[in-house]
């Protein structure tokens, strides 16, 4: 099929983008990498009168460390994020999840901000943003504002962005000390959307206790989720005494919106999710221990 007719706009800078969004007052859609939007338009699952192409705006691209945060321009491609040595050192979880995003052709065209703004509950970058308490920078004619990840994801493919706003950057706080990260997802085929997955960040104290933990879930609701019960279970406990499978089961408590489709029932997705949490937890704690050894 072919998309329904639309007007195509290619602005020269961010000011032009927000002017267009204000002018069309909810009748326009941002086109970044187009790896999710274009198929939806072609299948006529979505329709917009106006498309605003921001893919070539240099002010929306790039990766920069600013104090205690890593700032990623919304127009930065997946491939650029995955290949950036600074991003890998500052936020290792980014380089862990990037190879699981579609295929290399998608990663070469798709953008970080586009993936976050698309808000797919099985998306890897929305998962990282929520797990690491990122903040999203949104711009409009009224100025800019920062939206915490906990408030950003509103539902299936829905965000807190207003119709006249565009996502311009994502800022991810940096973790310090004995920190480790883990990520696992399960899909029928490589490159498919994950049936379920998990990201874990853990910080260990000098005595081996869990000082801080963040556990994110994907594919188990209408948005990416935080496993708060499991986070509370592990915080303050000696990491060596914790059972990964128990943590995985704890992470599944309180889930009341697990989807069912041809890929699996809610019960099946929950079992997969528990296994992914357990594996990601094991990887994260091992990485934290290895960091202590390397730092010593």
Q: Where in the chain is the domain with CATH 3.30.465.10?
A: 58-173
Tell me what pLDDT residue 182 has.
Answer: 98
In this prediction, what percent of the chain has a pLDDT beyond 70?
Answer: 98
**CATH code for the domain defined by 7-53:** 3.30.43.10
110 is written with which tokens? 């798709």
Q: Where in the chain is the domain with CATH 3.30.390.50?
A: 178-295
**CATH code for the domain defined by 178-295:** 3.30.390.50
**Nearest alpha carbon to residue 247 among 273, 269, 225:** 273
pLDDT at 296 over 50: no
More confident residue, 163 or 40: 163
CB-based contacts of 274, cutoff 8 Å, min separation 6: 245, 248, 249, 251, 252
More confident residue, 39 or 206: 206
pLDDT at 40 over 70: yes
Q: What is the architecture of the domain spanning 58-173?
A: 2-Layer Sandwich (3.30)
**Nearest alpha carbon to residue 273 among 237, 221, 203, 235:** 221
Q: Is 173 helix (H, G, I), strand (E, B) or coil?
A: strand
Q: Where in the chain is the domain with CATH 3.30.43.10?
A: 7-53
Rounded to two decimals, the pTM is 0.94
Tell me what pLDDT residue 291 has.
Answer: 78
- Lowest-confidence pick of 43-47, 230-234, 272-276, 288-292: 43-47
pLDDT mean over 140-145: 97
CB-based contacts of 179, cutoff 8 Å, min separation 6: 201, 202, 203, 204, 287, 288, 291
Question: pLDDT digit string (tens) for 53-82?
Answer: 999 899 999 999 999 999 999 999 999 999
**Cα(first)–Cα(last) distance of the chain, in Å?**
60
- Torsion angle of the four alpha carbons 125, 93, 97, 159, in this order, in degrees rounded to the nearest 10: -10
Q: How far is CA 34 from CA 41, 102, 161, in A?
A: 10, 13, 18
**Nearest alpha carbon to residue 202 among 274, 281, 89:** 281
Tell me what pLDDT residue 38 has.
Answer: 80
């Amino acid at each position: 099929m072919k998309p329904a007719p639309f007007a195509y706009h290619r602005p020269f800078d961010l000011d032009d983008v927000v002017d267009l969004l204000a002018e069309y007052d909810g009748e326009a859609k941002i086109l970044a990498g187009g790896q999710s939007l274009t198929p939806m338009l072609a299948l006529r699952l979505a329709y917009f009168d106006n498309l605003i192409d921001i893919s070539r705006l240099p002010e929306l691209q790039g990766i920069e460390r600013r104090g205690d945060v890593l700032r990623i321009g919304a127009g930065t491609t997946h491939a650029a994020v995955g290949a950036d040595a600074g991003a890998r050192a500052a936020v290792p979880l980014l380089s862990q999840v990037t190879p699981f995003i579609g295929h290399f052709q998608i990663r070469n065209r798709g953008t970080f901000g586009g993936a976050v703004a698309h808000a797919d509950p099985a998306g890897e970058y929305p998962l990282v943003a929520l797990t690491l308490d990122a903040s999203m920078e949104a711009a409009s004619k009224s100025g800019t504002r920062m939206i915490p990840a906990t408030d950003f994801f509103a539902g299936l493919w829905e965000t807190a962005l207003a119709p006249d706003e565009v996502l311009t950057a994502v800022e991810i706080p940096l973790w310090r000390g004995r920190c480790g990260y883990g990520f696992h997802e399960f899909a029928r085929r490589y490159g498919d959307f994950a049936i379920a997955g998990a990201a874990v960040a853990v910080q260990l104290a000098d005595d081996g206790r869990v000082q801080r933990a963040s556990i994110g879930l994907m594919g188990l609701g209408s948005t990416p989720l935080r496993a708060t019960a499991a986070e509370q279970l592990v915080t303050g406990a000696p990491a060596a005494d914790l059972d990964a499978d128990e943590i995985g089961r704890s992470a599944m408590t309180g889930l009341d919106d697990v989807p069912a489709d041809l890929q699996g029932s809610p019960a099946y997705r929950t079992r997969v999710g528990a296994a992914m949490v357990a594996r990601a937890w094991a990887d994260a704690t091992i990485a934290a221990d290895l960091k202590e050894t390397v730092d010593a």
